[in-house]
Amino acid sequence: MAPALAPAALFGLLIGSFLNVVAWRLPRGESLVKPRSKCPGCGTQLKAYDNVPVFSWLVLRGRCRGCGEKISARYPVVEAITALLYAGVVAAEHDHALKCALGLALVTFLVPIAVIDLDLKRIPNALTGPAAIVAVVIGAILDPSFLPEQLIAGAAALTFFLVPAMLSRKGMGMGDVKLAAVLGLYLGRAVAPALFFALILGVVVGVAIIANQGMTEGRRVKIPFGPFMAVGAVIAFFVGSGLVDSYTSSF
């Protein structure tokens, strides 16, 4: 059966549009469902035809129709990334209900988590909590035999991140520890390559910032770790199990 990529991408665009709303309103304690989105410049509520994911931003060339205020490119970028990831998950796992459902749910939580952590340098419990519950519920419904691996991986990832988080004053925080546990619940043993990729990415970006700004200045820059974990998790979702298999079978 050919996977339904176009519907998955279109659905991903709509979800991505909602995730933009979540990423802005949730950490500010605003309602996620009303009112409709407004232009930050003139306060005009967006008409439905000016709120079509990606396309409206392109048609209006990134400006408000009413006042010409610039609208950040991050909105269409978040929508496009969500659409790509939805299509990617369906393409890779369309004949595997458990992994498909886990992948779509994982993407749906990781996108606002990464955006909020970039913005505000924190990861809300209001996202990691529900993300953990959804992972366990999906596992329990679709394949209870995978649940032990989910729970063990979640506990292992939490323990692995807890010690450095408690030792470091800045840098890794409890939000990162909870996110690591969530990744274990979604990825099972593939959480190991996910955290490995995240740490490598973090080191590379950290070194680049120090090279760019010098040791004293560069060390002061606080880099949120959540986005690296999100990228690592997505890579591990697509290639992680294969990596773990080939690694363990080489002994």
Is residue 64 a contact point for Zn ion (CB under 5 A)?
yes
Is residue 141 a contact point for Zn ion (CB under 5 A)?
no
Is the distance from CB of 46 to CB of 37 less than 8 angstroms? yes
Looking at the Cβ atoms of 42 and 137, the one nearer to Zn ion is 42
Tell me the closest approach of the beta carbon of residue 6 to Zn ion, in angstroms: 32
Is residue 42 a contact point for Zn ion (CB under 5 A)?
yes
Task: Give Cβ neighbours of residue 99 (< 8 Å, ≥ 6 apart).
Answer: 92, 93
* The only residue of 32, 59, 60, 67 in contact with Zn ion, by rule CB under 5 A: 67
Determine the residue type at 147. L
Tell me the closest approach of the beta carbon of residue 69 to Zn ion, in angstroms: 5
Token pair for residue 11?
């659905």
DSSP sequence for 172-203: S-HHHHHHHHHHHHHHGGGHHHHHHHHHHHHH
Looking at the Cβ atoms of 21 and 136, the one nearer to Zn ion is 21
Tell me the closest approach of the beta carbon of residue 96 to Zn ion, in angstroms: 45
Instruction: Give the whole-angstrom CA distance, residue 28 versus residue 89.
Output: 30
* Of the candidates 196, 2, 166, 199, the residue with the CA atom closest to the CA atom of residue 94: 2
Looking at the Cβ atoms of 64 and 85, the one nearer to Zn ion is 64
Q: If binding means CB under 5 A, how many residues of this protein chain bind Zn ion? A: 7
* The only residue of 66, 124, 171, 218 in contact with Zn ion, by rule CB under 5 A: 66
SS3 63: strand
* Of the candidates 55, 54, 64, 69, the residue with the CA atom closest to the CA atom of residue 20: 54
Looking at the Cβ atoms of 61 and 170, the one nearer to Zn ion is 61
Looking at the Cβ atoms of 73 and 208, the one nearer to Zn ion is 73
Looking at the Cβ atoms of 67 and 133, the one nearer to Zn ion is 67
Task: Give Cβ neighbours of residue 54 (< 8 Å, ≥ 6 apart).
Answer: 13, 76, 79, 80, 83
Is residue 114 a contact point for Zn ion (CB under 5 A)?
no
Is residue 69 a contact point for Zn ion (CB under 5 A)?
yes
Tell me the closest approach of the beta carbon of residue 67 to Zn ion, in angstroms: 3
Residue ranges that bind Zn ion, judged by CB under 5 A: 39, 41-42, 64, 66-67, 69
